[in-house]
Amino acid sequence: MTTPEFRPTHVVPRDGLPAWETPDVSRPTVALDALLPVQLAERAGDWGRAVCANGWSAWIDARLLVAVPQTPPAASSPLTRTADPRPLLARVEEALSGYRSAAEDLAAGRLDGPSFHGRTQGQRIGVVVDGDSLWLYDGEHERWVYCDGTRLSTIATDRGPAATATREPVREEAPVGREPTRVVTYEEGGRRD
């Protein structure tokens, strides 16, 4: 039975998603089925509480949900910080430039092997461009994102959802014509069971 106010904001990816009773990996629950429409009711760090059409909810790694297309924002609306691809593109360009500089110094004999290793250690860069489609590796958040030229969408991640105590809650853009969902942190709302 569908609840009267249910409007899906996302769809579970093709392979389904593991789910938890609370934002805690030690409390697993029934996984969400592939392509299941869900409503992202709240978000804290990488965790999101997905509500199903029948009212049942579970915590999932919200970065992996596929957004249901909404009416695009007006042309005069600024891009949000999390959706704007330009900051990530700048970080990727900076990392690639640093690697290129170290490689040139190594080839010119200004660096030896161990120094080259030390200068490039910890750098992780990934870029795939195919026409107007772009895939970037976001090393800061350990995830691959897809860019259509105007916004980013997470498509894969290297790690599970982060604990909410060490991260700021992430606010999702509300679909046009709807009020945004209020994000409640553990500090404000206590434990959810």
- For position 22, what pLDDT does the model report? 92
Query: What secondary structure does DSSP assign to 125-171, as a single string?
Result: --EEEETTEEEEEETTTTEEEEE-SS-EEEEEESS-PPPGGGS---P
Widest CA span in the chain? 70
Q: Which residues of the chain have pLDDT under 70?
A: 1-4, 69-83, 156-193
- For position 158, what pLDDT does the model report? 63
In this structure, how many other beta carbons lie within 10 angstroms of the beta carbon of residue 56? Answer: 14
- For position 57, what pLDDT does the model report? 94
- What pTM was computed for the model? 0.44
- Residue at 134: amino acid letter: L
Q: Which two tokens stand for residue 45?
A: 């760090």
Q: Are 43 and 172 in contact (CB under 8 A)?
A: yes
Q: What is the DSSP letter of 103?
A: H
In this structure, how many other beta carbons lie within 10 angstroms of the beta carbon of residue 86? Answer: 10
